[in-house]
Amino acid sequence: MGCMNSKSAAVGDSRGSHKERLRPKGSLQKLVPRANSSRREETVGSKSKYDGGDVKVLLIDKKTSGSNHYYNDQAEKERIVDKFEVIETIDKLENFEVTTIAAHHHHHHPGSGRVFNGIKGEQVAAGWPSWLVAVASEAIKGWIPRRANTFEKLDKIGQGTYSSVYKARDVIHNKLVALKKVRFDNHDPESVKFMAREINLLRRLDHPNVIKLEGLITSSMSCSLYLVFEYMEHDLVGLASLPGIKFSEPQIKCYMQQLLSGLDHCHSHGVLHRDIKGSNLLIDSNGILKIADFGLACHFYPHDSVAMTSRVVTLWYRPPELLLGASDYGVAIDLWSAGCILGELYSGQPILTGKTEVEQLHKIFKLCGSPSEEYWRRAKLPHSTVFKPLHPYRRCVAETFKDFPSTAVSLMDTLLSIDPVHRRTAAFALKSEFFTTQPFACDPSSLPKYPPSKEIDAKLRDEEARRQRAVGSRSRVDMERRVQKERVSTPSSNSNAELTTSSQRRQPHHNLKSRSQMWYSRNADGFSGFLIDLHKQTPAAKENSIVFSENNRKKVSHSGPLVYGAAFGKSRKESDELTRLSSRTNLSKFSGLVATRRLAPEAVNQAGRSRRSFNELEPAGKHDVRRHIPKTAESPQTGGGRPCIKEPMHGRGPRRNGNKIYVSGPLLAPSENVDQLLKQHNRNIQEFTRRARLDKTKPGKLQAQGKEVTENSLFVSARRAG
């Protein structure tokens, strides 16, 4: 059949003579004759237009073949179509034989110039866009697209890096669903392919603990795609951050059992998830946990060695072998993440919260010990020469989590093995004493009913609280100015107290310290936007704040590790080690990169190349790293991976002033500065007035001096505020 030029309209070998005549328009619809029509039933083809390209479809009703109609022109077609009543979008094609479908486009496009026959032809006829059919026919096989107007969109409930997720009502089946609008470039076949990979994998899986893909919404005209999922009220991060939530042991076991059962199903179906983390574990109103977000997932072949990218899994849940650059890995990567979740469920906060890959690995070694000599030799990991510590680290998982139940520690010990082989399998974990000894996992249906809670809700709460702080601070600044202006001697702290109280009254969450906020302020690993009082900080937060101030003071245009050996208050040995690592690697620049999500596994080398070129071409500090990070860092988990130096430069990073550090949030002058500033200003005015009195007789000089004082005072203010 070959390619066709943009305007020719070959419809099929046997109907070549009609090729210029078939110009039906509109989507594929089943038509029934109106009462006065002589026609019995017919399906008209669709000619859709998108991005300047046309797709032609000719369907022949098997029952009435021979009565196919070719329209001479659009007007004729419309006249004929008008005789029919559209009763439904076709959802079954068995009765129709697709003879030929021609797609031709003005622009280069997947499917451009292609004539689809057979299955692909049917797919286009069924209303799938040809850009999807062209490269992802397998993903939509046997399915028909749902139409957008069969859903009623409700709220936005999730914002992922690659998607926006909406709550919606399926009006046909009258039930709630989640619609995930996936972002991809439909002009780029690779991008479409990788989006389709998620669909393919999801369709392979069918388990109560794996999210179910119920359908796809698109149309031949559309360049976007929605994935339709069963609706889930919660995710684990959102749930854990609900104020006052503390999971019981049977509850933790219940969630872990479901997580591991879901993982076991994925793994036994040859699927690695590669992004297990709390926000991807969805929980419905009956307490059923489902693994979601298969955007990073891939097929794996246990007995074949296929190179895969190591840039997967959100930093805090990423196993050491990936940080060491492994490209041949297996189920153990998901088990490591599951071990992190287990620790998090007990401790109430993420357990390994590095800000950079180097720091993440360092934290892992400190907790789990560094790999044995035998492992270094056997694994031959790409970054081992860079990351192998000079001195081995001792494993202290049991000591660190000594307050947890012993069976939980024992399971963590297995799942957090440095050597992936020792992590065993999800099936093995499910048989561990953790699940076989009392207290047993509770039944999901017996779990408490929670108000809807999502990571996005937790974020919104955090943001609202931050906004309130900002409003409070701004009001405070305004108030201080007013106080100064009116020369009222009320102590500003009183005014602030009043303001705080009123803002608290307005905002019920103001004073609630969500768990995520606490994680941040405790660890200073995320960017919460809250004013943190150093006196009240834990040592960990203090350590980090020192890094921040170091960064600011030294105006280092590079991320953490270059200074963190010394700045984190580590032991001399650790500090030397980190400095050594940091000076030997540039990986810190790419911290938090969570995989080349749309990159083929085979493209590992290419990723390496782009990494190099990024290093070589871009001057440090000038580059907006976020543009190059496919999976950016808004969540605490991914946030852990952000290069920390960028943030202060963009006004979102931690800034230190006296005993307080500001972490993220709007750029506000710390309010203590306002006091100083105003005092200084007063002094300057007094000085100016004094000199003016002295120099009454020398107006020329006065003017000059006045100017000088003003400039000085501005200079002082700027310097102090900066």
Residues making contact with ligand ATP (CB under 6 A) = 157-158, 160-163, 165, 178, 180, 211, 229-232, 235, 275, 279-280, 282, 292-293, 295, 454-456, 631
Question: What is the strand order of the sheet 151-159 is part of?
Answer: 151-159, 163-170, 175-182, 226-230, 213-217
Instruction: Tell the residue number behind the tokens 């601070």, with chain if given.
Output: 473
| 3-class SS shares of the chain: helix, strand, coil, % to 5 | 45, 15, 40
Q: For the CB of residue 349, give the shortest distance to ligand ATP in the complex, in Å.
A: 19
- Token reading at 365: 């070694």
User: Residue 234 contacts by C-beta under 8 Å, 6 or more apart in sequence?
Assistant: 282, 283, 284, 450, 452, 453, 454
Q: For the CB of residue 175, give the shortest distance to ligand ATP in the complex, in Å.
A: 12
Query: From the annotation, which residues make up the binding site for ATP?
Result: 180
Q: Which of 54, 235, 264, 275 is catalytic?
A: 275
Measured over the CA atoms of residue 227, residue 230, residue 233 and residue 238, the dihedral's sign is: negative
Q: For the CB of residue 227, give the shortest distance to ligand ATP in the complex, in Å.
A: 8
CA 443 to chain centre: 31
Q: Give whichever of 292 and 479 is closer to ligand ATP, judged by the CB atom.
A: 292
Q: Give whichever of 59 and 157 is closer to ligand ATP, judged by the CB atom.
A: 157
Question: How far, in Å, CA of 218 to CA of 145, rounded?
Answer: 6
Q: For the CB of residue 614, give the shortest distance to ligand ATP in the complex, in Å.
A: 21
List the one residue out of 176, 178, 175 whose CA is nearest residue 164: 178
Q: Give whichever of 293 and 574 is closer to ligand ATP, judged by the CB atom.
A: 293
Q: For the CB of residue 351, give the shortest distance to ligand ATP in the complex, in Å.
A: 19
Q: Give whichever of 180 and 476 is closer to ligand ATP, judged by the CB atom.
A: 180
Provide the angle, in degrees to the nearest 10, between the axes of the packed helices 492-506 and 455-486. Answer: 150
- Cβ neighbours of 577 (radius 10 Å): 20
Question: What is the strand order of the sheet 281-283 is part of?
Answer: 234-235, 281-283, 289-291
Q: Give whichever of 334 and 550 is closer to ligand ATP, judged by the CB atom.
A: 334
Q: For the CB of residue 161, give the shortest distance to ligand ATP in the complex, in Å.
A: 3
Question: How far, in Å, CA of 216 to CA of 139, rounded?
Answer: 10
Question: How far, in Å, CA of 343 to CA of 338, rounded?
Answer: 9
List the one residue out of 451, 170, 174, 173 whose CA is nearest residue 285: 451
User: Residue 375 contacts by C-beta under 8 Å, 6 or more apart in sequence?
Assistant: 418, 419
Q: Is 235 a catalytic residue?
A: no
The CB-based long-range contact list for 316-319 (8 Å cut-off, 24+ gap) reads: 316/277, 316/340, 316/350, 316/352, 316/353, 316/354, 316/360, 316/636, 316/637, 316/640, 316/641, 317/275, 317/276, 317/277, 317/341, 317/352, 317/637, 318/360, 319/420
Q: For residue 516, give Cα distances in angstroms to 193, 316, 460, 530, 537.
A: 36, 14, 12, 12, 15
- Cβ neighbours of 400 (radius 10 Å): 17
In terms of C-beta density within 10 A (0-12 exposed, 13-18 middle, 19 or more buried), how is residue 583 classed? exposed
Measured over the CA atoms of residue 567, residue 573, residue 574 and residue 578, the dihedral's sign is: positive
Q: For the CB of residue 654, give the shortest distance to ligand ATP in the complex, in Å.
A: 24
Q: For the CB of residue 334, give the shortest distance to ligand ATP in the complex, in Å.
A: 15
* 3-state SS assignment for residue 660: strand
Q: For the CB of residue 177, give the shortest distance to ligand ATP in the complex, in Å.
A: 8
Q: Give whichever of 450 and 688 is closer to ligand ATP, judged by the CB atom.
A: 450
Q: Give whichever of 163 and 582 is closer to ligand ATP, judged by the CB atom.
A: 163
Q: Give whichever of 324 and 594 is closer to ligand ATP, judged by the CB atom.
A: 594
- Token reading at 330: 């297996």
Q: Give whichever of 15 and 181 is closer to ligand ATP, judged by the CB atom.
A: 181
Q: Give whichever of 207 and 454 is closer to ligand ATP, judged by the CB atom.
A: 454
CA dihedral (664, 665, 669, 672) in degrees, to 10, reads -70
Q: For residue 621, give Cα distances in angstroms to 549, 559, 641, 644.
A: 17, 9, 17, 11
Q: For the CB of residue 599, give the shortest distance to ligand ATP in the complex, in Å.
A: 15
Backbone angles phi, psi at 338, to 5 degrees: -65, -35
Question: How far, in Å, CA of 501 to CA of 222, rounded?
Answer: 51
Q: For the CB of residue 158, give the shortest distance to ligand ATP in the complex, in Å.
A: 2
Q: Give whichever of 131 and 229 is closer to ligand ATP, judged by the CB atom.
A: 229
* DSSP one-letter string for 661-691: EE-SSS----HHHHHHHHHHHHHHHHHHHHH
Measured over the CA atoms of residue 625, residue 631, residue 633 and residue 634, the dihedral's sign is: positive
- Provide the phi-psi class of 274: left if phi over 0, else alpha when psi is between -120 and 50, else beta: left
In terms of C-beta density within 10 A (0-12 exposed, 13-18 middle, 19 or more buried), how is residue 518 classed? middle
Question: How far, in Å, CA of 590 to CA of 201, rounded?
Answer: 28
- Token reading at 384: 């081992």
Catalytic residue annotation: 275
